[in-house]
Amino acid sequence: MSVRTRFAPSPTGRLHIGNARTALFNRLFARRHNGRFIVRIEDTDIERSSKEFEKEILGDLKWLGLDWDEGPDRDGAKGPYRQSERLSLYKSYAARLVDNKLAYNCFCTKERLEALKKDQIAKGLPPRYDGRCRNITSSDAPSGMTPVIRFRVPEREIRFTDGVHGGMSFDARAFGDFVIIGSDFVASYNFAVVIDDALMEITHVIRGDDHLSNTPRQILLFDALGFPAPSFSHIPLVLGTNKLPLSKRERNASVGELRDAGYLPVGIVNAIARLGWSPEEGLLGLDELSSDFALENLSNSPAVFDIERLKSFNREAIKKMEETAIFASLGLDGDELFMEAVLDIRGNASTLSELKDIIGYVTGGIEYDEDALVALSEPHAKAVLRAFCEEAERFDLLDGTAYNRIIGEVKKRTGEKGPRLFHPIRYALTGKKEGIEIVNILKLIGWIEALKRIKRFL
């Protein structure tokens, strides 16, 4: 049996970190077993779905490197791959269930259902449909009213083995007969996903714990339709640092936000791969992650998304970037010393945006605060700056070798060392007390600009 997994996002928002992890795990599992990874768009929520979100989700997946074998933009024998294009399929299978007395038309109004729910809650009972229309005949059906179609839930226990949680058991009597086709003729989530998974021959469903309660209903539908059910694995939800489920409203909760903030695909992939899984240490490529991936190694405890851990992976990813790629991503061009300085300081940044900011505060305009002006007015600071200028003017280029010789001479001439030696130079060059190494500042701003900044305080 060839392994087939799927990722089925709803185009109602940006690609969330938790959903990106689900896509990653499905893709890793498929590649690990030489199977196929399918992307399916669940867009039956007409009011909230949009083509813009669909385009962004697919773009984010491609940017992360999570390529797929079948999907809305690729030919495949099991398509179409948008639920909105499969509505006639859902209707035909629902009609088959009705014909076989496994589903029925329900004419209950929203008002009656709401009153039923309130009454059950008041009595301390779990809300469920009471089966009023289960045995209604065509002659008893009210005229002028569009019914929904409900699945006739059998009284039985549903058992299955979850790939993450192990043996699971549910009592179907707790469900009540649930809707599979609405009065708007749109299939419910549980019904559409069963038809899609069956016809697309999905062998393994890997998804979040929030879908665990849907699984017994779906297994009942697979059985009723005569389809084999796939293997289910439910991964715990991703939590924020507040230990609550990560919200789409939280900053840096989507792949798009992380990309805009200057994170790299390989950094993000390595961070989310470790949300509930522990592959080898270090920055790993997708092929390396795939070869090590196994469902039995996934944790059944919630994982916390830690932005600091992501920064650590991303810092390593920036260090490993090709030189031409890093310059292109920053939109930089300059002389050899400038480019050398950029490469030397990239280890100070956890994102490309931070690296750009570091370069910007050095090469851009400078604002000297009160502390800087006071420090630069001290007699020892003036002596250090004067000696630095005089020594620097002996060189045509302020590279690392020249800088070390200049500092050595300034130290001899002034007798200063430590902060009293370096702070005046840094303050004069950047207006800040701390930052990247002074030699890299000199490489970034150049010889003429460096002396110009220092001489203004003499």
Which CATH number goes with the domain that contains 418?
1.10.10.350
Residue 317 domain-assigned (yes or no): no
Task: Tell whether 410 and 423 lie within a shared domain.
Answer: yes
Task: Tell whether 283 and 345 lie within a shared domain.
Answer: no
Task: Tell whether 388 and 326 lie within a shared domain.
Answer: yes
Q: Which of 235, 258, 290 represents a domain boundary (last residue)?
A: 235
Indicate the number of domains in the chain: 3
Task: Tell whether 106 and 37 lie within a shared domain.
Answer: no
Residue 312 domain-assigned (yes or no): no
Which CATH number goes with the domain that contains 147?
3.40.50.620
Task: pLDDT tens for the chain, 458 residues: list them.
Answer: 799 999 999 999 999 999 999 999 999 999 999 999 999 999 988 889 999 999 999 999 999 999 999 999 987 889 999 999 999 999 999 999 999 999 999 999 999 999 999 999 999 998 999 999 999 887 777 877 899 999 999 999 999 999 999 999 999 988 899 999 999 999 999 999 999 999 999 999 999 999 999 999 999 999 999 999 999 999 999 998 888 888 666 667 899 999 999 999 999 999 999 999 999 999 999 999 999 999 999 999 999 999 999 999 999 999 999 999 999 999 888 788 899 999 999 999 999 999 999 999 899 888 898 999 999 999 999 999 999 999 999 988 888 899 999 999 999 999 999 999 999 999 999 999 889 999 999 999 998 999 999 999 98
Which 3-state string (H, E, C) describes the chain?
CCCEEEECCCCCCCCEHHHHHHHHHHHHHHHHCCCEEEECECCCCCCCCCHHHHHHHHHHHHHHCCCCCEECCECCCCCCCEHHHCHHHHHHHHHHHHHCCCEEEECCCHHHHHHHHHHHHHCCCCCCCCCCCCCCCCCCCCCCCCCEEEECCCCCEEEEEECCCEEEEEEHHHCCCCEEECCCCCECHHHHHHHHHHHCCCCEEEEEHHHHHHHHHHHHHHHHHCCCCCEEEEECCEECCCCCECCCCCCCCEHHHHHHCCCCHHHHHHHHHCCCCCCCCCCCCHHHHHHHCCHHHCCCCCEECCHHHHHHHHHHHHHCCCHHHHHHHHCCCCCHHHHHHHHHHHHHCCCHHHHHHHHHHHHCCCCCCHHHHHHHCCHHHHHHHHHHHHHHCCCCCCCHHHHHHHHHHHHHHHCCCCHHHHHHHHHHHHCCCCCCCHHHHHHHHCHHHHHHHHHCCC
Task: Tell whether 223 and 96 lie within a shared domain.
Answer: yes
Q: Which one is catalytic: 248, 320, 452, 455?
A: 248
Q: Which of 278, 307, 336 represents a domain boundary (last residue)?
A: 307
Task: Tell whether 198 and 244 lie within a shared domain.
Answer: no
**Residue 118: domain span:** 86-235
Residue 137 domain-assigned (yes or no): yes
Stated pTM of the model: 0.91
Task: Tell whether 109 and 177 lie within a shared domain.
Answer: yes
Residue 164 domain-assigned (yes or no): yes
Residue 395 domain-assigned (yes or no): yes
Task: Tell whether 182 and 102 lie within a shared domain.
Answer: yes
Active site residue 411: no
